[in-house]
Amino acid sequence: MLIQTLKLTHFRNYEHQTFSFDPFINILIGDNAQGKTNVLEALALLANGRSFKTASNQEMIMFKQDFSVVEGAVISSEKPVTMKVVVSNAGKRAFINKKDIAKLSDYIGYLNVILFQPEDLSLIQGSPKLRRKLIDSEITKISPIYMYNISKYHKLLRERNMYLKTLQKKHASADAYLAVLSEQMAALQVDLIHRRQAFVKLLNDISHTLYGYIGQEESLSIQYMTRYKEVSKEAILAKYEHNYERDIRYATTTDGIQKDDLKIDLNGQDATLYASQGQQRSIVLAIKIALVEIVRQEVGEYPVLLLDDVLSELDDIRKTKLLNLIENKVQTFITTTSVEGIHHDVVSRAKKMYINHGKLVKEEYDG
């Protein structure tokens, strides 16, 4: 997959700006708060129909404007495709080859991006929510069925929690409606757990090898931890029924995949407790490159890699390993305040774009 051009209209601090990109390495250079990450956000919006920074449409629209437009010319499955997202306060509209696409699941898939930000370095020690978000967003990109089922599950979960509140207020016990919601959620969870397990198995296999390549000696293992001993509709439903009284008392669904997590170990020891800062960086790096590889395996093409200010967080060895692994294979966008610290070979081959106050002020290949 390749992004050839990007056109921004009233997007964040860009009034009107067009970019054309290198098939391999693109470096966006500029001082802080000039609009480098905004470009990556626009690319991810183009790919996924949603921002990685905000759920608010208003935030993406330039101050004092009513809408913003992000358009891109992309090569997907070896064919040229135009993708466009229009953001207004009324919502977002997405277009493929100028055709209005009503369902997000029909829009995504043309362009896959993997984002690596400094925040990702807290993946190991951060809350389980971060790790669930990672697997959910990555599986969603390669599986429209997962995307559909996970959003249906969250809708049911909200509905169930609201209904539990009603029952709590009325001092009522579980009834037929609660049973129906629980049954639907149990069935969906079986499917979602199986898909998460298959994805994490792939992630484990690939990142295990990559972790060794990065130069770490320990053995990395990543497992999906479900709270259910038996993953079947009957067993999950039985757990729900067992919890009815407690759920009503606290007006919340105590069990479910919204509580699951990843178990990350080094040589059999819990990485959240024992991994050093350097080991954690290597684990996250291995996971991110594994995600790139998973897209290639599942979709048949490499995704686009977005490295937001992350190179400065990696030491020279890890930086070199990362760049070697993606070299001449993966279209990559790097944001940085300075090219110092990025290997000279990489810089000289890259297209360098200088950003100042929401404008592309200079672009060049050499130097």
The footprint of ligand ATP on this chain (CB under 6 A) covers a number of residues equal to 17
37 is in an annotated binding site: yes
Answer yes or no whether residue 352 interacts with ligand ATP by CB under 6 A: no
Answer yes or no whether residue 309 interacts with ligand ATP by CB under 6 A: yes
In the bound state with ligand ATP, the residue whose beta carbon lies nearer, of 43 and 295, is 43
Shortest distance, CB of residue 309 to ligand ATP, whole angstroms?
6
What is the x/- site pattern for ligand ATP, positions 27-66, by CB under 6 A? Answer: ---x-xxxxxxx--------------------x-xxx---
Angstrom distance (rounded) from CA 135 to CA 290: 12
What is the x/- site pattern for ligand ATP, positions 188-207, by CB under 6 A? Answer: --------------------
In the bound state with ligand ATP, the residue whose beta carbon lies nearer, of 37 and 226, is 37
Exposed (0-12), middle (13-18) or buried (19+): which is 275, by Cβ within 10 Å?
A: buried
Answer yes or no whether residue 120 interacts with ligand ATP by CB under 6 A: no
73 is in an annotated binding site: no
Shortest distance, CB of residue 355 to ligand ATP, whole angstroms?
6
35 is in an annotated binding site: yes
Task: State phi, psi for 256 to the nearest 5 degrees.
Answer: 145, 170
Answer yes or no whether residue 12 interacts with ligand ATP by CB under 6 A: yes
Exposed (0-12), middle (13-18) or buried (19+): which is 281, by Cβ within 10 Å?
A: buried
Shortest distance, CB of residue 241 to ligand ATP, whole angstroms?
48
Tell me which residue has tokens 């298959």.
Answer: 198
Shortest distance, CB of residue 13 to ligand ATP, whole angstroms?
4
* Cβ 83 vs Cβ 4: under 8 Å: no
Answer yes or no whether residue 364 interacts with ligand ATP by CB under 6 A: no
In 204-339, the DSSP E strands lie at 220-225, 261-266, 269-270, 304-308, 332-336
* Cβ 262 vs Cβ 131: under 8 Å: yes
Residue 328 backbone class (left: φ over 0; alpha: ψ -120 to 50; beta: rest): left
Per DSSP, what are the bridge partners of residue 88? 67, 91
184 is in an annotated binding site: no
Edge-to-edge order in the sheet of strand 351-356? 113-116, 304-308, 332-336, 25-29, 351-356, 359-364
Angstrom distance (rounded) from CA 79 to CA 270: 45
Answer yes or no whether residue 256 interacts with ligand ATP by CB under 6 A: no
Task: State phi, psi for 159 to the nearest 5 degrees.
Answer: -65, -40
328 is in an annotated binding site: no
Query: If you ran DSSP here, which 8-state letter would residue 62 be given?
Result: P
31 is in an annotated binding site: yes
* Cβ 79 vs Cβ 51: under 8 Å: no
47 is in an annotated binding site: no
48 is in an annotated binding site: no
Pairing of strands 261-266, 14-20: unpaired
In the bound state with ligand ATP, the residue whose beta carbon lies nearer, of 30 and 109, is 30
Shortest distance, CB of residue 319 to ligand ATP, whole angstroms?
18
Residue 303's closest CA among 8, 43, 39?
Answer: 43
Answer yes or no whether residue 105 interacts with ligand ATP by CB under 6 A: no
Shortest distance, CB of residue 366 to ligand ATP, whole angstroms?
23
In the bound state with ligand ATP, the residue whose beta carbon lies nearer, of 120 and 261, is 120
Answer yes or no whether residue 160 interacts with ligand ATP by CB under 6 A: no
Query: If you ran DSSP here, which 8-state letter would residue 171 be given?
Result: T
Q: What is the distance of C-alpha 27 from the center of its chain?
A: 21
Contacting ligand ATP (CB under 6 A), which of 337, 338, 348, 356? 337
Which tokens hold the place of 174? 């579980």
Contacting ligand ATP (CB under 6 A), which of 4, 9, 13, 20? 13
In the bound state with ligand ATP, the residue whose beta carbon lies nearer, of 254 and 356, is 356
Shortest distance, CB of residue 115 to ligand ATP, whole angstroms?
13
Binding-site residue ranges for ATP = 30-37
Residues forming contacts to ligand ATP in the complex (CB under 6 A) are 12-13, 30, 32-38, 59, 61-63, 309, 335, 337
